[in-house]
Amino acid sequence: MEHTICELFAGVGGFRVGLEKSSLDWKTVWANQWEPSKKVQHAFECYKSHFETSGGIDKYSNIDIAQVPVEHIPNHTLLVGGFPCQDYSVASTGARGIQGKKGVLWWEIERILEAKRPPFVILENVDRLLKSPSSQRGRDFGIIISCFAKLGYSVEWRVINAAEYGFQQRRRRIFIFAVHNTTKYFKELQNQSPYEELQSYGFFSSTFNVEKFPEDAISSIDIKEKYSLDILEISNNFAFGFKNSGIYRNGVIYTVETTPNNLLVNKPITLEDILEKTVDEKYILSEDDLEKWTYMKGPKAIERTSKDGHKYVFREGGIAFPDPIDKPARTMLTSEGSKNRSTHVVRDIETGKLRLLTPIECERINGFPDNWTNTGMTNSFRYFCMGNALVVNLVEHMGKKLHSIIEKEDK
C-alpha cells in the first residue's frame, strides 16, 4: 500500500512536516489551504514555497474546500487535517434528507471520505469538541463518530497534552484516528478487547503510553442499537460523557479517562532549550509598558454591571510573569506577540531584560524548522500561524506508528 497523503486545512503544513520527518516514504498527493476573508493567502504561500518543488502546482489548492469537486482530489492512503470546532448539528430538509449547516467544515471532510474512502484518517481539533455544545454535551462528537461509522470506519481518539510526553508546549488537543474496516489493521484490532486497545494496543495507547486503569473505569454506549446511527436522531437527542480517550467499533462507543505514563521521558524540552541567545531589541519590553504588562498578567477582581443592571465581580487568576523558562511553554494562541494577557514574556538570557518571544522561538515551540514562516508575511501573521498550528513532534510519532501499520497491509 502506498504512503500517500491528502492534507485538508493545511495551514503552513504541520501535518506534512511531522509525517515527512517520520519517514521519507510519505508522499502528499494533494493539499488544500484557504483562509476566508484574507486578500493575501499567507499560509498557503508559505506552504507552497516549501513544498512546490516536490510536485506540480495542481497538487495545491487555494480555494474554499466546499468549491472543490471530489473528482479533483486524488485517491490517498491517509487523510489528515486540523478542522475548526463548530456546531455540527443537522436539520431535516424534506425530500433531500438531512443537511448540516452551511460553512461547517466537518461536512466537507465527510463528503471527501464518502467519495474516497481512504484506509486511514488522522484529524486534530480543540479538546472542547468532546463536550460541545454545552446544551447537549457530546452531541457534536457523537455526530462525527456516526458519520465515520456509516462510512465503514472504526475510530479511536485521545486528548494529548504535548508537554506530558516530553515536548515543548503545554498544548492540549484531541487527535482522532479512523481506520476503515476493510484493512488488515482493523482485523488485528478485532483480536483485542476494548480494554486492551485502550490500555496498550491501540493506535494512540501504543504510541503515547498511559498508566494502568481498571477495566470497570470504561463507560460505553451502543450508539448503533440506541440511535441506529441516524444522524438526525443523534443531532436531536444524543448526549454522552466522552472522556479523554476512547474508541468506537462494532456499534459501540467505549471511553475512559487516561493518565499519561511519561516514565519514558528523560527530560522534557523546556522554553530555555528553544530560546534564541541573541535577539533584536524590538522584542524587549519598554519600561513604560512594564506596569501595563504587570496588570494584565496579575490577578483581578473587578466590579462590573450587566446589561440588566445586575452588579457582579469579574475575577481572573494571575499568570506567571515572566514565564518560567525551566518548563515547557504555555499553550500558544493566535494573539501571541501582541500586547495581550496570554502572550509569553520571558527574561532574556543575554541581557536579563523582559521580552517577547521571537517568531523563530514560536516555530520551535511547535516543532517547526527555524524561519519556516519567514516567507514574506508580517511578524504578527507569523505569530498567528503558529497559534493555529499543531505540535509537529506528536505527528512525527504518529507517522512512525502509522508507517509500520501500512507496511503490513500488503504482506
Dihedral, 130, 133, 138, 143 alpha carbons, nearest 10: -100
Strand partners, 253: 221, 248
| Helix, strand or coil, per DSSP, at residue 395 | helix
- Give yes or no: 85 in active site: yes
Is 384 in a helix, a strand, or coil? helix
Q: Take residue 74 and report the three cell numbers written for it.
A: 486524488
Nearest by Cα to 80 from 144, 147, 31: 31
Establish how many alpha carbons lie within 13 A of residue 162's alpha carbon, considering only the half-sphere containing its beta carbon: 28
Where would I find the H helices in 228-267? 231-237
Q: Using the structure block, give the residue that is written with the C-alpha cell 510519505.
A: 26
Please list the residues that pair with 28 across neighbouring strands.
5
Helix or strand or coil: residue 31?
strand
- Report DSSP state, residue 192: S
Residues whose CB falls within 8 Å of the CB of residue 365, separated by 6 or more in sequence, listed in order: 168, 169, 271, 274, 329, 332, 357, 386
DSSP conformation letters of 321-355: SSPPTTSPBPPP-TTTTSSSTTS-EEE-TTT--EE
CB-CB contact of 227 with 234 (8 Å): yes
Alpha-carbon torsion, ordered 314, 317, 318, 320, to 10 deg: -150
What phi, psi does 199 have (nearest 5°)? Answer: -85, -45
- The one catalytic residue in 85, 147, 362, 385 is 85
* Helical ranges in 54-105 per DSSP H: none
Question: Residues with catalytic annotation?
Answer: 85
